[in-house]
Amino acid sequence: MTTKVVVVGAGIVGASIAFQLAKRGVEVVALDKGLGPAEGSTGASSSICRCRYTHPEVVRLAFCGQEAYGNWGLFTGLAQPRSGLHRTGVLWMMGETREKVTADVAKLASQGVAAEILDPERLARLFPILSPCAEPFDTTGDTEHVCRPGEAFLFETRGGYVDPVSANQDLIEATRLAGGTVTFKARVVGVTRESGGVTGVRLADGATIAGDLVINAAGPWCNQLNEMAGADMRWTLTPTRIQTVYRSWPPVMGTLPVGADSSTGIYFRPESAGQQVLVGSVLPEDEEEVVDDPDDFKRVPDQDFITMKLAALHHRIPSLEARGGISGIAGLYTINREDVHPILGPSGVDGFWVANGFSGHGFKLAPAVGSMIAQAITGVTTEFDTDVPMSFFSVDREPIALGVKHVLA
Ligand SMILES: Cc1cc2nc3c(=O)[nH]c(=O)nc-3n(C[C@H](O)[C@H](O)[C@H](O)COP(=O)(O)OP(=O)(O)OC[C@H]3O[C@@H](n4cnc5c(N)ncnc54)[C@H](O)[C@@H]3O)c2cc1C
């Protein structure tokens, strides 16, 4: 294999691509402008691994990612990986009918994903601290609320969450052990071209790095890279500010699953080895703050956001005392506004590929996306490879048909 590949970005996506190429014997260099791992989207990620998606291809891709994190030592080849999947299960509290939940359990099962239907009684036995309410709840407190138990809840029994920074660190270490290079403090400022085709990149210090193929894995900075390469994307990829809240979690409350809660518009999961709970949003209006400069945005959550999301959490967990430390972060993810799914593979410019626009799904998909891209470049398959075709996410596809265009698509 003589191809040399330059990956721009060593977040969870770039590191995953670099690792998959290095382990197939490809000469690969991942370049990142950060001082160290996970300074982009990855470091702020809630890193939830769930598989319930609209399209079976995405279910399958998420499942492949989940199984990679679930077998992280084997997947990375590291004797002592820092990370791995906390299989808490993923509980969907969406106010749905039993028919809808039954159909989705069958769809998940068709792609190998274990899921079951919980009725309110079984929910109470598994997670007694969670209210079974399915009635929409106004977090402003302006509308009177009477709780009404939901009919059926979908539970993905083997889903969960991962610590994102240590997973990124693991992939970087695994790439280096497999013979690849990962370099930080290496800001790409230009993409070099000859006769129309890309020949490498130019760094801020003036150095050039040659490559037969350059892959844009620059996360929220992807548009800058595409511009440098002259890639004319017809996709609208917007770096978008996304907020999360962390609240202390009293040990007496026991363990939580990952939860998605449509009656209040939040998701939640354990954080910091169970000492905190992390709360984020599943509402489209919380995915609207487009950021012009990914290097310059407010990195802490707004007070209003904190107040609303904690009100939502207390509705779902009524016995949670209203005291304890509160913090949070805001990060960016890149939303593909046409169909909230990533674009992967050849960009239309010779020698320039993209892995962009993950729209809030990039962490869970990253291991499988790395596998998909490395298979497409080398034709070589290895263990843990995904069998989902990359064409589903190609740059020249029609937008994927969806009922909703937000993070729960
Ligand atoms: C608050 C929040 C919650 C999320 N929750 C989830 C979740 O629960 N589940 C899930 O699956 N996903 C989630 N996501 C999305 C997921 O984190 C991202 O899709 C994923 O981290 C994207 O990884 P990436 O490697 O593409 O981008 P990044 O991590 O941003 O990496 C891109 C890298 O490129 C580098 N770079 C950029 N430009 C240049 C340049 N010119 N030269 C050199 N280097 C460059 C940057 O320094 C950066 O390290 C969440 C994201 C956020 C912000």
- Cβ–ligand 1 distance for 364 under 6 Å, the answer yes
pLDDT at 2: 54
pLDDT of residue 233: 84
246 C-beta closer than 6 A to ligand 1: no
Given a contact cutoff of 8 angstroms between Cβ atoms, the answer to whether 32 and 169 are in contact is no
What does residue 340 show for φ and ψ, rounded to 5 degrees? 45, 35
Measure the N-to-C terminal CA separation of the chain; round to a whole number of Å.
38
Structural domains in the chain, sorted by start: 4-83+163-234+338-393 (3.50.50.60), 90-160+238-336 (3.30.9.10)
pLDDT at 21 over 80: yes
Atom of ligand 1 at shortest range from CA of 201: 42
Q: How far apart are CA 185 and CA 177, in angstroms?
A: 20
Q: 259: which strand partners?
A: 91, 268
Of the pLDDT bands very low, low, confident and very high (cuts 50, 70, 90), residue 141 is confident
The Cα-based distances of 323 to 245, 248, 250, 253, 326 in angstroms read 14, 8, 10, 13, 9
Within 13 Å of residue 141, how many CA atoms lie on the same side as its CB?
6
CB 37 within 8 A of CB 365: no
Ligand 1, atom nearest to 364 Cα:
11
Q: Rounded to an integer, what distance in angstroms lies between the CA atom of residue 53 and that of residue 108? A: 9
Q: How far is the CA of 310 from the centre of ligand 1 (A)?
A: 26
Residue 27: the pLDDT is 98
Q: What share of the chain is helix, strand, coil (3-state, %, to 5)?
A: 30, 25, 45
What pLDDT, on a 0 to 100 scale, did the predictor assign at position 1?
45
H or E element, residue 370? helix 362-378
Query: pLDDT tens digit string along 312-354?
Result: 999 999 999 988 899 999 999 999 999 999 999 999 999 999 9
Compute, in angstroms, the gap from residue 173 CA to the centroid of ligand 1: 18
3-state secondary structure of 101: helix
With a pLDDT cut of 70, the percent of the chain lying above it is 99
Q: What is the mean pLDDT of residues 172-179?
A: 98
